[in-house]
Structure 1
Amino acid sequence: MTTHVGDRKGPSETPVPRHHQLIVSLFGLYARQHGGALAVATIIDLMRDIGVESTGTRSSISRLKKRGVIDSVQVNGRNGYALASSVIATFIEGDERIFHPRRAKKGDQWLLATFTVPESQRNIRHKIRSSLVRMGFGSVTPGLWIAPGHLRDAVLAYFDTRGLNEYLEFFMADHVGGADLHKNIGSWWDLPALDSLYSDFLEHNRELLESWVQRDGFDADPDSDARAFGDYLVLVTQWRRLPYLDPGLPTEFLPDNWNALEAEHLFQQLHTLLAPRAQRHADRAIADHAVTA
């Protein structure tokens, strides 16, 4: 059974993942388990399983290569691609953040960041700001940024690998009093927008969970595994940006009925149901091309 990406439409706020985003998830989930590389034919076949034609796949592969995300390699004597060495560390860190997100507690320390960039290097300033946002920082003032302390190691490694540490200073800090921290957190991060993203994720995937729970048998047949693969690849692609936009703020400082907690639970349920089936399907596809090479 084929799962077509185009069939999974929803509100405009949550667009269906783009082809290159799905391919990034494909590499993150399966390439590293098979020597770090996938043959082009394997990528095309697996993307076809979710309704993406080969022309779209090839175009997205080319885009990712130009961006330095993947490199050309040989796989069993065939043309293939592997994750670029410069992004492997990011993928490893992403595994923890995506599949085992941490949530800070009220009394935990905070990570503060400040940076100085010469006026002649405005492009570096923009790169640092966008990177801070990507890693989950909130903006206290234009020159001071804040994130939960448990992100320290990941943040330091992220900026070090990108050669940006020379512009930044990081500090670990306790909140010891002053203004209402609950109120300030609501201004440092755009919590309504983030909660809306979690709400959209729930809306798109509650029925997906119900459909799999209600399926008869759960036999390990190829058609069922192919469907699980398509659903899982889209699911992970939809989910993986959220643990970065949400740095794991303490629940005590979040609005009532914060959608993140239910969304995290839903993702873990679907991950438990679909990941083994999707893995079987991907393994079959990769093995088939290895045999025919």
Structure 2
Amino acid sequence: MTDQQPSPHTPRSLIVSFYGAYGRGVAGRPAGPVPIAALIRLLGAAGVDAPSVRSAVSRLKRRGLLTASRTAGGAAGYGLSAAAQQLLSDGDRRVYARPVPSRPGHHAWLLAVFSVPEHERHKRHLLRSRLARLGFGTAAPGVWIAPAHVHDETRHTLERLGLAGYVELFRGRHLGFEPTAEAVARWWDLDHLARRHRAFLDAHEPVLRRWARRRPLPAEEAYRDYLLALDAWRRLPYADPGLPVALLPEDWPGVRAGRVFRGLHGRLRDAGEAFVATVLEEPVSGPPGRPRAG
């Protein structure tokens, strides 16, 4: 990868990516708890060892994203919490959808204007960090901006964190006086975003070319390469929240990065699902009691 980017593939991140891709039902099977033994097998295919899986699951459970339960066969397993379901549902539009370009001069923006009392400054820090994670840029102190299509996800996030009372949201168009393209370059660090897109391309564009020549598609290899690509990609639509291409530098690498991910998704996701379904169908049982992890 360029710029010596740290690897995005932590055990915790890969588990979230797995549940986003396959943990809400596969091959016509309804969503349910994934046996911890199956999760270890599935993450092992992406290079994560069993102790790391158990430790990461424990942390995700403490954060309220996974819930411990038993499968129909009595095995220890973990499913998504309601909060995690909402997070993944909100993220689907960003991660999987192709941005719809707006007409020149008709770009709609979402403004988040907030004020937090000094004695609650810890909430000010939380609010800033969450807006940044949602892809907001900074237009002015206390005024953050993002493309208007992130409104629903922003509202859900602020309500979930108990921060909605500190924020006013506005939707509108930029009317000047600075040219909007120059303003966007001020509100977001476009050089940093471009480097992140190029890092994704360096790692995964060769993978897409390699798979374009392969017949048939080995299920476990397709699953591994898709999970790694999804895990690397899913952060990018948050760092770059679908900024209007007309307001970005020429040859913006995000356009090509999006095409590469969609190519990998279209080619590998379903082939990988066959591997996941096979692992989940393997007989797994466990003794009475609570799941070990967590």
Matched residue, 1:36: 32
Residue 32 of structure 1 aligns to a residue whose secondary structure is: coil
Task: Tell me the CA shift for residue 152 of structure 1.
Answer: 1.7
Alignment of 1:34-183 (within 5 A): 34-76=30-72, 77-105=74-102, 106=104, 107-183=106-182
Runs of 5+ unmatched residues, structure 2:
287-294
Question: 2: CA distance between counterparts of 1:86 and 1:211?
Answer: 37
Runs of 4+ displaced beyond 4 Å: none
When you count helix as a share of all residues, which structure comes out higher? Answer: 1
Task: Tell me the CA shift for residue 182 of structure 1.
Answer: 1.1
Matched residue, 1:247: 241
- Is the CA contact 1:114–1:144 (under 8 Å) kept in the aligned structure 2? yes
Matched residue, 1:231: 225
Question: 2: CA distance between counterparts of 1:177 and 1:61?
Answer: 48
- Is the CA contact 1:104–1:248 (under 8 Å) kept in the aligned structure 2? no
Task: Tell me the CA shift for residue 253 of structure 1.
Answer: 0.9
Amino acid aligned to 1:287:
E
Matched residue, 1:210: 209
Task: Tell me the CA shift for residue 10 of structure 1.
Answer: 7.3
Runs of 5+ unmatched residues, structure 1:
1-8
Which of 258, 282, 290 is residue 288 of structure 1 equivalent to?
282
Shift in CA distance, 177/204, structure 1 to aligned 2, threshold 3 Å: same
Task: Tell me the CA shift for residue 29 of structure 1.
Answer: 1.5
Q: How many residues align?
A: 279
Question: 2: CA distance between counterparts of 1:152 and 1:133?
Answer: 14
Task: Tell me the CA shift for residue 158 of structure 1.
Answer: 2.1
Shift in CA distance, 160/203, structure 1 to aligned 2, threshold 3 Å: same
Shift in CA distance, 156/280, structure 1 to aligned 2, threshold 3 Å: same
Q: Deviations over 1:195-233 (max 9, x none)?
A: 100000001011101211122x215xxxx1001111111
Q: Is 1:18 aligned with 2:17?
A: no
Matched residue, 2:183: 184
Q: Deviations over 1:252-283 (max 9, x none)?
A: 11011100000000111111110011000001
Q: TM-score, normalization: structure 1?
A: 0.90
Deviates more, 1:229-238 or 1:43-52: 43-52
Q: TM-score, normalization: structure 2?
A: 0.90
Residue 289 of structure 1 aligns to a residue whose secondary structure is: coil
Task: Tell me the CA shift for residue 110 of structure 1.
Answer: 1.2
Task: Tell me the CA shift for residue 180 of structure 1.
Answer: 2.0
Shift in CA distance, 50/11, structure 1 to aligned 2, threshold 3 Å: farther
